[in-house]
Amino acid sequence: MIISNEDDKLRESLTFAEPAIPERISADPEVVENGLAKLVLSIIELVRRLLERQALRRMDAGHLSDAEIERLGSALMKLEQKMEEMKKVFGLTDDDLNLKLGPVKSLD
């Protein structure tokens, strides 16, 4: 059963036609590095978001001690900082790394 009032948006999001994952990687040495970096960083960003979401769900369920909240929060801060540094190195923005993950939402 799938019921949606946004059929066009739903169809679009289910295609996974995502500019962050190019159909082919250009072999031009001047752009290949940037294309690969975009692909790899998109995947790292996806994993970072999943980790963040999992941490928030565990907090919501009351499963985290104060020490664990501190440790997870510090790890997420460092990960975010590292991602910002890497995006800067390759000249990428948040929009460049925005993967669509499925119905009614994108990674961002």
Partner 1 sequence: MKSVILGIHLREEDVEPVTKAMRVADLFASTVGVDDDRPLADRDLLLEIAGVRAKLLDRATFVAVRYGLSVRDESELATKCGDRTAKWRELLIAHREEVEMTLKAPPAAPTARPDRRDFESGSAYLRALYAATYAVDVDAKFRARIEETLVPRATQHRWMRDNTSVELAMLVRRSDLDAIRDAGEELRRDFTSVPFLLSGPWPLEVFASDDHQQ
> What's phi and psi for 89, nearest 5 deg?
-55, -40
CA geometry: angle at 49 spanning 87 and 69, to 5°? Answer: 115
User: Please, which residue, 30 or 60, has the CB nearer to partner 1?
Assistant: 60
Q: What's the min distance (Å) between Cβ of 39 and partner 1?
A: 14
Q: What's the min distance (Å) between Cβ of 80 and partner 1?
A: 5
Q: What is the DSSP letter of 12?
A: H
* Angstrom distance (rounded) from CA 35 to CA 21: 9
Give the largest CA-CA distance in the chain. 51
Residues lying near partner 1 in the complex (CB under 8 A) are found at 1-6, 9-10, 52-63, 66, 69-77, 80-81, 103-106, 108
User: Please, which residue, 60 or 95, has the CB nearer to partner 1?
Assistant: 60
Q: What's the min distance (Å) between Cβ of 61 and partner 1?
A: 4
